[in-house]
Amino acid sequence: MERLQKVLAQAGIASRRKCEQIILAGRVEVNDEIVSELGTKVDVTEDIIKVDGKPIRSEEKIYLMFHKPKGVISSISDPEGRKVVTDYLTKVKQRVYPIGRLDYDTEGLLLLTNDGEFSNMLMHPKYKIPKHYHAVVKGVPHGNDLEKLRQGIMLEGKMTAPAEVEYADVQPDMSQSVISIIIHEGRNRQVRKMLEHIRADVLKLRRVNYGPLSLQGLSRGKYRHLSEQEVKSMKKLASKSH
């Protein structure tokens, strides 16, 4: 017997948190009875489970790395008709969801999966998976400002965790620089807000690594499947972090 929200997540319906919302909304039936109570336990070998009237089925787990271009929404749909990440996954038959988000103006490494447990593991703050960004900014921020980001700053009433912040490159005329930032959280637009806090004017922001994974060899707008070893390494990293 397993919790209903876990079963739904494992079936690729959505992340576990989103599955909880689906249950609370009364959209789930177990043996033709609506179940809207979290924590309900089911037997996947015997119980007939439906979401919006359709039986769930266990999909083959799929793990993708996508090089998101700027100007693309980290979602599977957009009411304004803008491009979304799944527009680029034309050969993927499974229904996959982004793990976290990269904002509209940010490009770089984005993971997608139909494995709700894997998604929850990587997104949950307690697992502290490092995410590495390169920010191209105007001028060269003062070293004291970078030290503030290393120590943690107050954003929207809450301190950020200490970050790893270094100069990655500086133009000879000091007109631009590249700042390397590694964070272990996933707050909304966090890196941009951190740089805004020190009055750094961001020209370009790109996520280059997610844990041990990198964009090496993957062109903008392209995707690839993670290897079994890469999936294992991400799970191992999360288990070590917790």
Q: Are residues 137 and 172 located together in one domain of the fold? A: yes
Degrees (nearest 5) of the Cα angle 58, 64, 68? 135
User: The domain spanning residue 79 has which CATH number?
Assistant: 3.30.70.580
Mean pLDDT of all residues in 75-101: 90
Active site residue 103: yes
Q: Looking at per-residue confidence, does 128 or 194 come out higher?
A: 194
- According to the model, what pLDDT value does residue 178 have? 98
pLDDT tens by residue, 19-73: 999 999 999 999 999 999 998 999 877 889 999 999 987 668 899 999 999 999 9
Question: Residue 158 sits in a domain of what CATH number?
Answer: 3.30.70.1560
Co-location of 33 and 135 in the same domain: no
What domain range is 41 assigned to?
A: 2-55
Pairing of β 63-68 and β 223-225: antiparallel
Q: What was the pLDDT predicted at 125?
A: 72
Read off φ and ψ for residue 143, nearest 5 degrees.
-60, -30
> Where would I find the H helices in the chain?
4-10, 16-24, 116-123, 143-151, 190-197, 228-241
* Residue 93 predicted with pLDDT over 90: no
Number of domains forming the structure of the chain: 3
pLDDT of res. 43: 85
Over range 74-94, report the average pLDDT: 91
> What value does the mean pLDDT take over residues 83-89?
95
Looking at the fold, whether 91 and 111 belong to one and the same domain comes out as yes
Question: Whole-angstrom Cα distance, residue 59 to residue 40?
Answer: 22
pLDDT digits (tens, 9 = 90+) for 154-185: 999 999 999 999 999 999 999 999 999 999 98
Regarding whether 231 and 111 lie in a shared domain, the answer is: yes
* Distance, CA of 135 to CA of 2 (rounded, Å): 43
pTM (2 d.p.): 0.77
Report the mean per-residue pLDDT for the chain.
92
Above 80 in pLDDT, residue 241? no
Which amino acid would we find at residue 169? Answer: D
| pLDDT value, residue 242 | 55
130-154 tens-digit pLDDT: 999 999 999 999 999 999 999 999 9
Q: How many CA atoms, within 13 angstroms, populate the side-chain half-sphere of residue 88?
A: 25
Q: How far apart are CA 55 and CA 23, in angstroms?
A: 14
Please pick, among 43, 103, 115, 169, the residue that the annotation labels catalytic.
Answer: 103
Euclidean distance between CA atoms 59 and 61, whole angstroms: 6
Same domain for 139 and 204, yes or no, is yes
Claim to verify: residue 206 and residue 217 sit in the same structural domain: no
Same domain, 26 and 136: no
